[in-house]
Homo-oligomer: A and B are copies of this chain.
Amino acid sequence: MITRLDPTRRDETARPATPVAIDRARELVEPALHAAVDLLTDSRMRLIAGYQLGLWDAAGERAPGGRGKAVRPALVLLAARAVGGRAEAGVPGAVAVELVHNFSLLHDDIMDRDVERRHRPTGWVVYGEGQAILAGNAMLAAALETLLRDDPHHDRTVPALLACVQRLISGQSADLALERDDTAAIEDVLAMEDGKTAALIANSLELGALAAGADTAVVARLAEAGRLAGLAFQLVDDVLGVVGDASVTGKSSSSDIRAGKRSVPVVAALRSGTPEGDELADLLRAAPPETDVEVERAVRLVVTAGGLDWARREAERLLAAAHQELAAAGLGADTATHDAAQDLAEVLDFLVRRDW
């Protein structure tokens, strides 16, 4: 039901080239991620965590597949470098955000009854709901343990991660509450997405900057840049949830429409004050559209009521604002930080600029 912030869904078909900084970050973070999972004392929790992270298959054997692109860890490392630190300083934070991201995916899949992720059965389908809830909890605890053990700046990063976790929880809670809520305003949906998606992107930059010892003002600028780009990223996801082609998104076409989800384009259409908006409200009132004909009609109404345009314009505006925040942070005084700041800007672009 829930629009995912999972950048991997288009692994096979994504057209923009993956920035090289993402692959470099993965090489650096991968061993530390394995080490963090290895430190889980319970073998069942280790197995489930590693499966969720794509480290191995359901039986614990090495097997390709199920990996995310790991954009968040890359953002942590780039933020550390962009404020003048070494990429290595960001590794504990990178592991922590990847663990928290996957903790939330594992739990959300249970709540949303999603049965597939990254072309594999979801954790609760493989291991049962109870064990999946527990493994999510263990991953959250492991994220904090990683920072406490390996990040010398954990006095700043641990509270920042916990505050982010509270925002993630709040966003997912709002998402559950908003499902098929006909009274939702765009602001409600945006506030939900701010927690559900933008908070962890913001926190990725925040943890990197904190781990490199950046000033509070610079940390706040980077976090805000991440938040703005994260929200833009979610709006693109929302657009793809209306008009996305199954072959491109890896989900059924118009998946959010089929799920009856009140995403930003849908709510923008419903609140547009147009005849098409009113017609859409009538169509969606009782239940999500079921037949392909109904789905196509709903998509057409969202488009003609201006819902997609609104979301696209807002995503563009947010991305531009994110770049302004980055610029305002005053990064790039020397060549190394300048390059890192450029890489960071490129990854934020990559996050948002998909085919839409």
Interface residues of A (CB under 8 A from B): 40-42, 44-45, 107, 110-111, 128-131, 133-134, 136-138, 140-142, 144-145, 148, 158-159, 162-163, 165-167, 169-170, 172-174, 176-177
CB pair B131 A166 closer than 8 Å: no
Q: A144-B144, A158-B158, A170-B42 are in contact. Are A111 and B137 (CB under 8 A)?
A: no
- With A159-B145, A159-B148, A165-B141 known as contacts, the answer to whether A176 contacts B128 (CB < 8 A) is yes
What's the Cα separation between A144 and B166 when bound, in Å? 12
Contact of A169 among B128, B129, B134 (CB under 8 A): B134
A145 to B164 alpha-carbon distance, docked (Å)? 12
Most chain B CB within a 10 A radius of its CB, from A128, A137, A159: A137
Cβ A134 vs Cβ B173 within 8 A = yes
Shortest distance from the beta carbon of A125 to any chain B beta carbon, whole Å: 16
Checking B107, B130, B140, B145 against A111 with a beta-carbon cut-off of 8 angstroms, the contacting residue is B130
In the complex, which residue of chain B has the Cβ closest to the Cβ of A148? B159
B residues in contact with A136, CB < 8 Å: 137
Measured in the bound complex, the distance between the Cα atoms of B177 and A45 in whole Å is: 12
Q: Which residue of chain B lies nearest to A42 when distances are taken between CB atoms in the complex?
A: B170
Instruction: Determine the distance from Cα of A144 to Cα of B163 in the docked complex, in whole angstroms.
Output: 11
Q: A128-B176, A159-B148, A162-B141 are in contact. Are A169 and B42 (CB under 8 A)?
A: yes
Are A158 and B148 interface neighbours, CB within 8 A?
Answer: yes
Q: Write the nearest CB–CB distance from A149 to chain B, whole angstroms.
A: 8
Q: Using Cβ atoms and an 8 Å threshold, which residues of chain B touch A144?
A: 144, 158, 162
Residue of B nearest to A129 (CB): B111
Contact status B44-A173, CB under 8 Å: yes
